[in-house]
Structure 1
Amino acid sequence: MVLLVDFLIYLLRILHDEKEGNFMEQNINAKIWTGPFLVALINNFFLFTVYYALLTILPIYILNDLNGTEGQAGLAMTIFMLSAIIIRPFSGKIIEMFGKRKTLLISELLFCLSSILYVFIESLSLLLALRFFHGIWFSIVTTVLITVVNDNIPESRKGAGLGYFALSMNLAVVFGPFIALTIFQLYSYKVLIIGLVTVIVIGYLFAFTLKVSEYHPQTSTAKWYRLSWHDLFEKRVIPVAIVGYLTAFAYASVMSFISVYAETRGVFEYVSLFFIAFAIAMMAVRPFTGKLYDTKGPNAVVYPSFIFYASGLFLLSNMHTVATLLVAGVLMGVGYGSTVPCLQALAIQSAQKHRSGHATSTFFTIFDSGIAIGAFVLGIVSAKWGFPMLYILCGVIITLTIPVYWRLIGRKKDIRYSEPVCSQQE
């Protein structure tokens, strides 16, 4: 009860306090949309488009062409995420050892080669092996790309810049499945793979033009050959990552079960509209929330975003009509679509400049674990208590995440939101 009262008092103080001017001193009009930023954003969009397209079409290919079971189709999805989660903690060390540019170009090249191999795979065992191999390079390339784009965003525009960058991932959630299903229905599986490979190769060629800032701290040679907790994780990111874990855990209910739930309610054919509403809402608020983060700090974005997010989940629990489905999509687009970029920016800004790769890998290791564990746990919940209870539970989790965020991050007075927490000279 005391914690709740303190939290409410703190919220009231946020609403009435003016920031001490440290945000206004920053150049809020600094330019974001530079050539390197645009190249990185488009490249990221291509990577996640391929990821979500394969996520959509491979189960169909496994069931129809490889005569696999539903369990084997699910395993093909799980094994990709498993390898990505396993390798993610090592990504920061890899970036630190080989440099951002070399890591980016090699990992994306191997991601391209992995994508090409889908054309030739005609057995389930080889497909599962390829999925594991593919997940490794997806994990590394997406981690290093975030650190590269972070270098190309002005310090005073981190919230807006990383928000737009995260938007490219979220738009791929809509575009990837759409293009996959369209091409697969009109042409064939192999034509789809060739199209996806063409897209990712174009992105790879443009990656050579990216401006990359390397940072090599003075470190003893022996240290490069030791592997410690510090080499795998950035402890300063853990509080943000815990909040990200809870956010992702609840979102697993949408990624894994929204289609099945919609089918039980007789609105399956409108699920694609849910994601379109999600994307439109997310794009509509992105300029506003990005500027709000940079001028007022993350608390001004996170608290209302969690409220929108929880509202969308609660609404889904009582979904019977298309209108309810779409409104829930809008609420979650505003909530989830604003929360994740904000947490991502907080994670990067909580670490020293040369540790941005470790910060990114730590955050997404824990975030991806939330999706993986959430899908498993919520599958049990849905089987035992049904989908309405599943979404009520997720709404409660996000509601409780608000005081968790306040306790771990929001109440701290010494966070500098519009510049790195620990500046280092390049």
Structure 2
Amino acid sequence: MEIKKVESHSTTTLWSRSFLLLLFGNFFIYQGILMLIPTFPLYIKQIGGNDLEASLPFAVISISALIVRSISGTAADTFGRKPLLIIGMCILIAFNCSYFVASGIGIILVLRFCQGIGWGMTSTVLATIMSDIVSPKQRGEGTGYFALSIILGTSFATVLGIEAMKRYNFEVILLISTILVGGGMLLTLGISMESAKKHLKPKRVKKGILWSDLFEKSALLPASLCFLHSITFGGIMSFIMLFGQETGIENVGIYFVGHVLMILISRPFAGKLFDRKGHAFVIVPGIALMIAGLLMLSYSTTTYMLIASSLFYGLGYGAAHPSLQAWAIARSPGERKGAANGTFLSSLDLGYSVGAVVLGLIATHTNYAVMYRISIIFLVAFAVIYGYHLIRNKQGNLKKNENSEKLA
């Protein structure tokens, strides 16, 4: 009877109503929140802020989201997904509206920090819901499409925010952002949470919060690898425009067109390959392509070279990143998937932040081309750590087989 239940679950279609609602809801929420990333600095400058103050809205929301992610994951495992999701999205919408009446850069930054709490809660719970409604045998494919909704939401958000800022004012952008987040909230409320109930952690009374509850140990390896490759992507997002100015390449934004295109192309086969063959068959070629793409980017002097580098890096990123998240979820116990997602997404935030700061310091002492070459070190470290894990895992399996043969 137990075996039949598992088989029945594994044959469930990926494209359920709940999964579609999740993808579209996640797309709108990411688009609504992230369209403020490129536009807030312009607004801060308009109201008299300097360059440092203009960079702070992104920094403070990342810091507060990073702080709250692991706590949110543990809370979602204990108290349920829907209450945390509703609270998180209400915080997002409430603080979006608060910017309409905020005056002064200091007040805006405080509000932005508070909004990051809602962002950390919402994004973590949505990722946890995804791991609930996707069957284990379709985890690689399902996680890939979920990651795609984030990537597309981010890309559209950047374009929509910049174009709206050119034509209108920041108040119009806030209105559009609030509508998008509200629409995403309505969609996600229609998701069935029945599959999440079996993953909930039994509630127990204990004195204080254990540090071990705030992160999932089994997800630390994939999260650490995610941190390393996210440093390089953080450098690309932060400095690609300045790199274009340095090299004289016009329309450098076309880099992200190639990046997204290759992620779209990689999704149908990368997720299925993960489910059938395992993470090594996707992550190893993925990281090799990212190294090649980053090296090509550092030597790019024409638009064609820039596009070629984006295709290599985008294909590698589209294969490696969702596979790392699927691997983190697969390694974690059912009742700790929220904490696993919180751990993984925290490493993503941390990687982007470290990439922007550390690589920025390198660029000030060299140039952006050299900075991108040096950033390859983080991907090499990724390859070394992951390779060591694969070798140790293989040796462990050989020892188990030898012991089994001796016992036989």
TM-score, normalised relative to structure 1:
0.87
| Residues 247-295 of structure 1: per-residue CA shift (max 9 Å, x gap) | 1112111111111111112224x22211111111110111010110011
Moved over 3 A (4+): 25-30, 215-220
Moved more, 363-372 or 297-306: 363-372
1:81 corresponds to which residue?
62
- What is the CA–CA distance in structure 2 between the aligned matches of 1:217 and 1:57, rounded to whole Å? 40
Shift of 1:409: 5.0
Which of 228, 235, 247 matches 1:246? 228
Distance in structure 2 (CA, Å) of the matches to 1:285 and 1:330:
11
**Equivalent AA in structure 1 for residue 334 of structure 2:** K
**Matched-pair identity in %:** 28
> In the TM superposition, what is the alpha-carbon distance from 1:130 to its structure 2 partner?
1.2
The 5 Å alignment of 1:182-331 reads 182-212=163-193, 213-214=196-197, 215-220=199-204, 222-223=205-206, 225-268=207-250, 270-331=251-312
Give secondary structure in 2 for the equivalent of 1:294: helix
State the Cα distance separating 1:411 from its structure 2 match.
Answer: 5.0
Query: In 1, Cα distance between the equivalents of 2:228 and 2:200?
Result: 34
| Residues 172, 206 of structure 1: alpha-carbon distance in 2 compared, 3 angstrom cutoff | closer
Which amino acid is 2:109 matched to? L
- In structure 1, what residue type is equivalent to 2:268? P
Map 1:17-416 to 2 at 5 A: 30-64=12-46, 66-212=47-193, 213-214=196-197, 215-220=199-204, 222-223=205-206, 225-268=207-250, 270-408=251-389, 412-413=393-394
In structure 2, distance between residues paired with 1:246 and 1:46 = 28
- Which amino acid in 1 is paired with 2:28? F
Letter in 2 for 1:374: G
Q: Which residue identity lines up with residue 306 of structure 1 in the other structure?
A: I
| 1:184 CA displacement | 1.7
Task: Report the Cα distance in structure 2 between the residues aligned to 1:26 and 1:311, rounded to whole angstroms.
Answer: 42
1:93–1:358 contact (8 Å) kept in structure 2: yes
- Report if the CA contact (8 A) 1:310-1:396 is conserved: no
For these two proteins, the number of residue pairs brought into alignment is: 387
Deviation at 1:219, TM superposition (A): 4.8
Contact 2:10 2:136 in 1 (8 A): no
Contact 1:91/1:143, CA 8 A, preserved across alignment:
yes
Distance between the aligned counterparts of 2:320 and 2:391, measured in 1? 13
Q: CA deviation at 1:311?
A: 0.8
Kept after mapping to 2: 8 A contact 1:240/1:409: no
Deviation at 1:355, TM superposition (A): 0.2
RMSD, aligned CA:
1.9
3-state DSSP class of the match of 1:247? Answer: helix
- 1:313 and 1:184 map into 2 onto residues whose CA distance is 31
**Does the 8 Å CA contact 2:241/2:253 hold for their aligned counterparts?**
no
Q: Which is further off, 324-333 or 161-170?
A: 324-333
Alpha-carbon distance in structure 2 between the residues aligned to 1:138 and 1:277: 28
Shift of 1:410: 6.8
Structure 2 CA distance for aligned equivalents of residues 301 and 27 of structure 1: 25
Report the secondary structure of 1:93's partner residue. Answer: helix
Q: How far apart, in 2, do the equivalents of 1:142 and 1:163 lie?
A: 16
Give the aligned residue type for 1:377.
V
Structure 1 384/350 Cα, relative in aligned 2: closer, same or farther at 3 Å? same
d(CA) in 1 for partners of 2:61, 2:20: 28
Shift of 1:86: 1.4
* Pairwise CA distance, 1:357: 0.4
C-alpha deviation, 1:110, in angstroms: 1.3
Counterpart residue identity of residue 41, structure 1: L
CA deviation after TM superposition for structure 1 residue 337, in Å: 2.0
What letter corresponds to residue 274 of structure 1 in structure 2? Answer: Y
AA aligned opposite 2:126:
L
